[in-house]
Amino acid sequence: MSVKLRLSVMMFLQYAIWGSWFPVLSAYMQNDLGFSGTQIGFIYSLLPLATIISPFIAGQIADRYFSTEKFIALLQLVGGAFLILTASTTDYKSMIWLMLIYCLLYAPTLALTNSIAMINLDNSEKEFGIIRVWGTIGWIVAGLCLAFWRSLAEAQQVISLQGDTLVLAGIFSVLMGLLSFGLPHTPPRKEGTNPWAFLEALKMLKNVNIAIFFLIAFVVATELQFYYVLTAPFLTSDQIGIADTKVSAWMVIAQLAEIIVMAILLPRFLPKYGIRKVMTMGIVAWPLRYAVFAIGGPVWLVIASLALHGFCYVFFFTAAFIYVDEIAPEDIRHSAQSLITLTVIGFGMYFGSLFAGWVQTLFTSVELGTNWTGVFLVPFFLTLLCALAFLVFFKEDKKESLEQA
């Protein structure tokens, strides 16, 4: 098996694991386990919290003591066991500890899979995108597999398992753990990476425009969690009425749109319109989606609005990573990427998970259930405010201006 094929399979499984549980676990916890919005938000905050801690794990252990492929294999095998164990858990406190341990095991693999791919590709700049897109395909396939499994279970052709979303993720994780031993051998470096390397990029924030950009990116990242944490409970609510067996299949519309926008539109729009206009289009897509969610109908419009995720994520977050890479001075480019990753995927999604869960609890009553209009008006107004602030205050910076700062 060629190196590229092995790396593509690795990316497929890496994100199939995540895509098996992340989009729909909230619906399972709410509809089957009876967890509150605050409790669900806290559990969803564990993975972003783990991504904040993971540089210490990946940088100080993998780079010094283990070959990358064996470390990935170990993390995925143990992680798969914890996922399957968590699936049998219905107690909130037990799930917190089990999911925390799992997230601490999974989070380092997000960076390690990128690292092993880039190290073993001849031209990572040209080839990495082709390898990475298999991760999005894996996310889509996982959602379709879960929907198919649940449909068969409903028809009593297969066994219906408690926490099937976690069981499926566990199966993918164990499979990836076994296959990871066959990844290209990537020995540890002689010197470990500096886990605090991103601090070098903090000098970029002396530039007011860059500070504004990072602040807006942080706020928008918090609102991203309203989509990941609350969309599945919203779609399976009486207001929308999508069955639990089909919700994961409908939600892959977002990832299909993501592939189209990333592969076709972004390469055309960036050279034509520039980074500022592209990011503006991306950030405007956020309040549009939440406006549709707040209106709550018709159902076809709510389903169609899932496709806006492609513009929301790619035109803003993917473009943001490109922008940071373009404006960062050569000597702190990697540190700058670490800082934007920490801002968005770490702190942004961590506080966003807690905030989304708290907002749902705020708009939920025993008598009336959840007021989804009230819930989604919150991210609507916040993302609308971010869009306006971005248009008014953000100006494109050139690398030369930062190097002179």
Confidence of residue 286 (pLDDT cuts 50, 70, 90): very high
* Separation between Cα atoms, residue 175 and residue 172, nearest integer Å: 5
Residue 404 has pLDDT above 70, yes or no: no
Do 355 and 299 fall into the same domain?
yes
Do 69 and 34 fall into the same domain?
yes
* Separation between Cα atoms, residue 157 and residue 24, nearest integer Å: 22
Do 229 and 353 fall into the same domain?
yes
When the pLDDT of each residue in the chain is averaged and rounded to a whole number, the result is: 87
Question: Residues with Cβ < 8 Å from 372, sequence gap 6 or more?
Answer: 234, 237, 239, 293, 294, 296, 363
Confidence of residue 400 (pLDDT cuts 50, 70, 90): very low
Do 248 and 189 fall into the same domain?
no
* Separation between Cα atoms, residue 228 and residue 193, nearest integer Å: 32
Of the ranges 20-24, 158-162, 299-303, which one carries the lowest mean pLDDT score? 158-162
Do 13 and 148 fall into the same domain?
yes
Question: Residues with Cβ < 8 Å from 71, sequence gap 6 or more?
Answer: 61, 62, 108, 112
* Separation between Cα atoms, residue 5 and residue 340, nearest integer Å: 30
Q: What is the pLDDT of residues 140-151, one digit of tens each?
A: 999 999 999 999
Q: What is the count of structural domains for the chain?
A: 2
What pLDDT does 405 receive? 43
Tokens 């991203």 correspond to: 224
* Separation between Cα atoms, residue 388 and residue 390, nearest integer Å: 5
What pLDDT does 7 receive? 93
Do 200 and 158 fall into the same domain?
no
Residue 402 has pLDDT above 50, yes or no: no
Q: Give ∠ CA 197-199-203 in degrees, rounded to 5.
A: 130
Do 187 and 208 fall into the same domain?
no
Do 74 and 211 fall into the same domain?
no
Q: Give ∠ CA 15-21-24 in degrees, rounded to 5.
A: 125
- Encoding tokens for residue 159? 């066994």
The HSE-up count of residue 226 (CA atoms within 13 Å, CB side) is 32
Rounded to a whole number of angstroms, the CA Rg of the chain reads 21
* Separation between Cα atoms, residue 256 and residue 272, nearest integer Å: 24
Do 216 and 189 fall into the same domain?
no
The residue from 194, 225, 256 where one domain ends is: 194
Provide the CATH number for the domain around residue 260: 1.20.1250.20
Do 107 and 170 fall into the same domain?
yes
What pLDDT does 263 receive? 83
Of the ranges 151-160, 274-283, 289-298, 379-388, which one carries the lowest mean pLDDT score? 151-160
Q: What is the 3-state secondary structure (H, E, C) of 236-291?
A: CCCCCCCCHHHHHHHHCHHHHHHHHHHHHHHHHHHHHHHHHHHHHHHHHHHHHHHH
Q: Quick one: CA dihedral 200, 201, 204, 206, positive or negative?
A: negative
The residue from 194, 225, 250 where one domain ends is: 194
Name the helix (H) or strand (E) containing 365.
strand 364-365
What pLDDT does 403 receive? 46
Of the ranges 82-91, 279-288, 390-399, which one carries the lowest mean pLDDT score? 390-399
Which structural domain range is residue 258 located in?
196-405
Do 371 and 281 fall into the same domain?
yes
Residue 333's CB is within 10 A of a number of other CB atoms, namely: 16
Q: What is the pLDDT of residues 375-394, one digit of tens each?
A: 999 999 999 999 999 988 88
Name the helix (H) or strand (E) containing 370.
strand 369-370
* Separation between Cα atoms, residue 259 and residue 265, nearest integer Å: 10
Of the ranges 64-68, 87-91, 160-164, 224-228, which one carries the lowest mean pLDDT score? 64-68
The residue from 194, 213, 229 where one domain ends is: 194
Helices and strands, counts by H and E, the chain: 20, 2
Name the helix (H) or strand (E) containing 18.
helix 3-21
What pLDDT does 325 receive? 77
Do 185 and 226 fall into the same domain?
no
